[in-house]
Structure 1
Amino acid sequence: MAKKLYVCTAIPYVNGTPHIGHALDYSLADSWARYQRQNGRDVRFQVGTDEHGNKIAAKAAENNMEPQAYVDSMYGNFASLMKALNVEYTDFIRTTDGHHKGAVQYIWQQLMQKGYLYKGVYEGWYCQGCENFVTDKEATENNGSCPDHQAPYQRLSEENYYFKTGAFSDKIREVIETGRMKIVPEFRKNEFLELIKDGLQDVSVSRPRKNLSWGVSVPGDDTQVMYVWLDALSNYITVLGYPDNPAWQEYWPADLQVIGKDILRFHAGIWPAMLMGLELSLPKVLLVHGFVNVGGTKMSKSLGNGVSPTEVITQYGTDAFRYYFMRHIPTQEDGDFTWEKFETAYNTELGNDLGNLVQRVAAMITRYQAGVIGDAPRAEHDMGPYRKAVEDLEFNKAFDETWVMVRSLNQYLEHVKPWEIAKQREKDAEAAGHLEEVLAHAVSTLLQIADLLTPFMPATADAIRNLFESGVVPSEQASPLFPKLYLHTPDPRAPKAN
């Protein structure tokens, strides 16, 4: 029996509202999970929220709330986004869950017993926004200020526990170079290998309680609280039931972990070191996606150029969001968003190419054949390039392959002109049979297109199947799949000014 599959997403802090990067994580992972399920596989799919650390405590204080009450009020924002995105996850973990906290303390104890944790003094720089310790070199290169948070680094001197990440440098380098833990795309793998060419540094995994009060207590040392990364990274196995529920072994190691490029160093460095220390298997593939820029500029709070995924979904629909951010944002690279680019893709590719095609075929079957499709054998277009694109984790290319079929069917209809064939039926005894063949071919192709869209645009795929799969087009057809919208670009249908 084949191993059950497992896909993970990075867990975001709950000190803000979800952004495009989170939506991209969820959409990519959900599409992969849906593709695997469509092909008969059992998939477990983890999402969740990271709820410890000073950033959370500070936000709670700003809102005159206790940290637990604050995270209880905030995690639902992420669950709501997943619902809006039509994400079919199986497990939602919060790092404040009782089982998770107990499991993290167990992990600490295991690493301590095996000699991988020790106490030392940290002297150096720290970014509270990143919850990250910063080397002197990095601080100098960034002129003493975090480029992501536009805030000066803090200088710290404190006693912490350290994890001997450096002890695993050679093993981690080997598993990455050999592909036993594959980093996709290749250039991200090479970037990380360059980063660790001189070996990994041991990392601080705790902070004094006086400097970090909101987190998981270090077992056996109540003066220390676990540093957020060790706590957060553990979620990928604790959500499965590690260590006390044997069922976790049915799904681990993860087949795919979806992360943004900004957290690769933690997932390719600290996380495998932790797993090696625990003598557990490593994830098979890390899919590292890039950033979504806005008009060529990185999204940032200071510039005020952020785009809310909820706003896009509310205005244009879930599948339109999923379409743009998985086709026009390359899966493995940075991409760009503007309202104009989005709306052009929506109206031309979704509205014209696909939406009009579906509506046109349904209307002709209704008009010429009283809604009866007739014998529509399954289309047999070559699925090889599409499957390769999905399995290579290049979802944008899978969309390209799907749109080859969409545009080819449009061209086919323009070439054979079924409306002209329909006019010949009274004069030509074979015309009716020919028309039925043409429309049946169109339907069978649309049903195959629906199959290809199922992982990425599930509601659209279902709508196409609901129209054609029964063999009879419903007499009352739903509204167009993608009605024209001109909220951010000029409406070409508007009267011209004199």
Structure 2
Amino acid sequence: MEKNFYVTTPIYYVNGDPHVGSAYTTIAADAIARYKKTMGYDVFFLTGTDEHGQKVEETAKLKGLTPQAWTDVMAPKFMEMWKALNVNYTDFIRTTQTRHKDAVKKILKKVYDEGDIYKGAYEGKYCVSCETFVPENQVVNENHCPDCGKELRIVQEESYFFRMSKYQDALLAHIDAHPDFILPHSRRNEVISFIKQGLQDLSISRNTFEWGIPIEFAPGHITYVWFDALTNYLTAVGYENNPELFDKFWNHGEVMHLLGKDILRFHAIIWPCMLLSAGEKLPDKIVAHGWWTSEGEKMSKSKGNVVAPLDEVAKYGVDAFRYCLLREVNFGNDGDYSTNSIVTRINSDLANDLGNLLNRTLGMYKKYFDGKVVEGNKFEAIDETVKELYKETLKLVEHHMEKVEYSRALEAIWKFISRMNKYIDETAPWILAKDEAQKERLGTVMNFLVESLYKVALLVYPYMPESAQKIWNQLGYDNLDIREGKIEDIKGWNTLTVGHILGNAEPIFPRIEIEKKEDPLAINEELVVENPIGIEDFSKVAIEVVEIVEVARIEGADKLLKFKVKTGTEVRQIVSGIAKYYPNPEELVGKKVMAVLNLTPVKLRGELSQGMLLSTEEKKRIKLVEIDNSVKVGSKIK
């Protein structure tokens, strides 16, 4: 039976460069496309750019370009990024292409002929950033978009409406009949709750700007950007010009849309209603992933914490970056991109677990059998436990990938990798090698390890394609293209050909060392204190807050000032040698400062001094230590 699979990313807005969010969706789509190929499916993988709308028109104007010229600059940036991330898409669609304009015209006519489009007037609030109308009951913070938080515009214009409300019950029934239509299930519940609040008819035309696809039955109107954008999923598989391709991948294929949770409602509500009206099959799965933070904080250019995919690839390598994105958080949940967690993941999972298994296996096979596969038919009970775990691993990977749970699928694969590392320790090939009678058992053990690595390479291929091919190459299968590998072919064991020559082990996953930055707040545990005193010595010093009530110069003493200060119980006179630092000492009257009050009174230049004012010294500049005015006179300093 023919098995067809059609997976899509959203088409990305051309107003900004590709970022970690769009990279995440696209890598996820690439991984599941590659996985389905290993499962024997014929796969069509679509990505592309969304190039119409008011936001694009306004940005192009600011850049001094036509909208088409602006989109022609931006679209290649996405293609270049996906190439750098080893994304192997089937088709890249641009909504400015003729084929797409024809597809939009076709679906509009179908919906119109169905009686589901009518002329009216729209008056309400519109978010240019999200290209969406916002009902009054969804407006937040007086006049802001509930999705992006930006201020809304008031729009008043003639518009054509799609009778979306007509399909509320049919959509709810479809969701109910297909439990995995919206994944993860927590998002499904959100969508159901939203629909049950009551679907409103959707404005699908604009006449206040020009950058869009004209509506044939509505002169002067262009197609609302979401009605335009969503149709791209039909365009690419031949909706308007290739019925055979459309029949294969849409009508007789498993159709999966991957997207961020911020655009789930458009895909899980507007899009199915459009298809119901047009008489087309609904997609099989709409899967929404969460958002990424960086080091625990929301990413923003102002904070300088935006994760740039190409920078991360330069640091860690493309496969390590892909692996960490898909492994670090289960698809659907929000995730945090942290340098420490990424490096730990690379060192632990890739370098220690998989890399170590490969290096140890090839090293020992070369040492014991000169790298040439030998006969190995002496099995023991431990071998059966490995086979059973492997069988379970294949089931778990299939189950989790059906649920679009990349992280859990990888977790199952790594459980098997860990088991094979433990298998080495339990079978101890280095001990077997010392006993000639155990030569065949040694061969069996080493063959099990080689076979497990051959299988693991194909299992990790969807997520880390380059590394998977390198593993096959090092196992001596550099004449085989792992892209053609099938899970069906790696289900059995004992498939190695005697005499096969293994390759040489070379590190595929080098360990990452984090450069340790000196902590500016680190304490010096070896600190030597000069002239140390104990707490008993310090407690003998009586320091209080006093208020300066009078200041005067002392005749014949340029350096001295005499202060009258109010303590908590009396007025005292204190002489201080700070005159040259305070040319206008009268400004100090009313200030609260600190004074030592249990010094033995002395006379300086004939003036009595009954204490000492505390000051700071920096770069030979003396300054009294002033106290906040709210602190009471007489308060003790401890």
Look up the match of 2:213: 216
Aligned partners of 2:263, 2:516: CA distance in 1, in Å?
A: 36
Answering whether residue 257 of structure 2 is matched by residue 250 of structure 1, we say no
Q: Deviations over 1:53-75 (max 9, x none)?
A: 12212222222211111111111
Q: Which has the higher strand share?
A: 2
Q: What displacement does 1:277 show?
A: 0.9
Look up the match of 1:472: 501
- Partner AA of 2:63 in structure 1: N
Question: Matched residue of 2:239: which SS?
Answer: coil
Aligned partners of 1:445, 1:410: CA distance in 2, in Å?
A: 11
Look up the match of 2:401: 390
Q: What displacement does 1:274 show?
A: 0.7
- Structure 1 vs Structure 2 CA RMSD: 2.2
Aligned partners of 1:289, 1:170: CA distance in 2, in Å?
A: 26
**1:376–1:245 CA distance, 2 compared to 1 (3 A):** farther
Answering whether residue 462 of structure 2 is matched by residue 455 of structure 1, we say yes
Q: What displacement does 1:295 show?
A: 2.8
Q: How does 1:188-203 map to 2 (within 5 A)?
A: 188-203=187-202
Aligned partners of 2:306, 2:43: CA distance in 1, in Å?
A: 33
Question: Matched residue of 1:146: which SS?
Answer: coil
Q: What displacement does 1:300 show?
A: 3.6
Answering whether residue 225 of structure 2 is matched by residue 228 of structure 1, we say yes
Look up the match of 1:207: 206
**1:440–1:126 CA distance, 2 compared to 1 (3 A):** same
- Partner AA of 1:75 in structure 2: A
Question: Matched residue of 1:119: which SS?
Answer: strand
Q: What displacement does 1:376 show?
A: 6.7
Question: Matched residue of 1:6: which SS?
Answer: strand
Give the counterpart of 2:509 among 482, 491, 498: 482
**1:489–1:463 CA distance, 2 compared to 1 (3 A):** farther
Q: What displacement does 1:473 show?
A: 2.2
Q: 2:295–2:339: 8 Å Cα contact kept in structure 1?
A: no
Moved more, 303-312 or 41-50: 303-312
Q: How does 1:28-427 map to 2 (within 5 A)?
A: 28-139=28-139, 141-146=140-145, 149-179=148-178, 182-208=181-207, 211-247=208-244, 248-253=246-251, 254-301=254-301, 303-375=303-375, 380=387, 381-382=390-391, 383-422=394-433, 424=434
The unaligned stretches of length 5 or more in structure 1 are 492-497
Q: Deviations over 1:246-304 (max 9, x none)?
A: 12111114521111111111111110111111111100111121112223333344544
Aligned partners of 1:78, 1:429: CA distance in 2, in Å?
A: 60
Aligned partners of 1:3, 1:429: CA distance in 2, in Å?
A: 51
- Partner AA of 2:456 in structure 1: I
Q: What displacement does 1:488 show?
A: 5.8
Q: Which has the larger radius of gyration?
A: 2
Q: What displacement does 1:315 show?
A: 1.6
- Partner AA of 1:461 in structure 2: A
**1:439–1:489 CA distance, 2 compared to 1 (3 A):** farther
**1:4–1:201 CA distance, 2 compared to 1 (3 A):** same
Moved more, 380-389 or 62-71: 380-389
Question: Matched residue of 1:482: which SS?
Answer: coil
Aligned partners of 1:490, 1:318: CA distance in 2, in Å?
A: 26
Q: What displacement does 1:147 show?
A: 6.1
Q: Larger relative CO (CA 8 A, sep 6+): 1 or 2?
A: 1
- Partner AA of 1:358 in structure 2: L
Q: 1:292–1:329: 8 Å Cα contact kept in structure 2?
A: no
Q: What displacement does 1:118 show?
A: 1.4
Q: 1:25–1:260: 8 Å Cα contact kept in structure 2?
A: yes
Question: Matched residue of 2:470: which SS?
Answer: helix
Aligned partners of 1:54, 1:156: CA distance in 2, in Å?
A: 13
The unaligned stretches of length 5 or more in structure 2 are 378-382, 478-499, 519-525, 527-638
Aligned partners of 1:346, 1:411: CA distance in 2, in Å?
A: 20
**1:212–1:304 CA distance, 2 compared to 1 (3 A):** farther
- Partner AA of 1:416 in structure 2: T
TM-score, length of structure 2 as denominator length: 0.72
- Partner AA of 1:405 in structure 2: F
- Partner AA of 1:349 in structure 2: D
Moved more, 143-152 or 219-228: 143-152
Question: Matched residue of 1:151: which SS?
Answer: coil
Question: Matched residue of 2:13: which SS?
Answer: coil
- Partner AA of 1:42 in structure 2: D
- Partner AA of 2:428 in structure 1: K
Aligned partners of 1:35, 1:233: CA distance in 2, in Å?
A: 25
Q: What displacement does 1:414 show?
A: 2.4
Q: 2:147–2:262: 8 Å Cα contact kept in structure 1?
A: no
Q: Which has the higher helix share?
A: 1
Aligned partners of 1:255, 1:231: CA distance in 2, in Å?
A: 19
Q: Deviations over 1:139-177 (max 9, x none)?
A: 2x3442236545311111111111111110110111011
Q: What displacement does 1:419 show?
A: 2.9
**1:375–1:320 CA distance, 2 compared to 1 (3 A):** farther
**1:35–1:137 CA distance, 2 compared to 1 (3 A):** same
- Partner AA of 1:263 in structure 2: I
Aligned partners of 1:80, 1:439: CA distance in 2, in Å?
A: 42
Q: 1:365–1:371: 8 Å Cα contact kept in structure 2?
A: yes
Q: Deviations over 1:400-442 (max 9, x none)?
A: 11111111111222233323433x2xxx322433332222121
Q: Which ranges of 4 or more aligned residues in structure 1 deviate by more than 6 Å?
A: 376-379
Aligned partners of 1:174, 1:295: CA distance in 2, in Å?
A: 42
Q: 1:447–1:469: 8 Å Cα contact kept in structure 2?
A: no
- Partner AA of 2:501 in structure 1: V
Q: Deviations over 1:196-242 (max 9, x none)?
A: 1132111111111xx32211112143321111100000000011111
- Partner AA of 1:473 in structure 2: L
Look up the match of 2:578: none
Moved more, 362-371 or 294-303: 294-303
Q: 1:340–1:488: 8 Å Cα contact kept in structure 2?
A: no
Aligned partners of 1:334, 1:316: CA distance in 2, in Å?
A: 22
**1:138–1:36 CA distance, 2 compared to 1 (3 A):** same
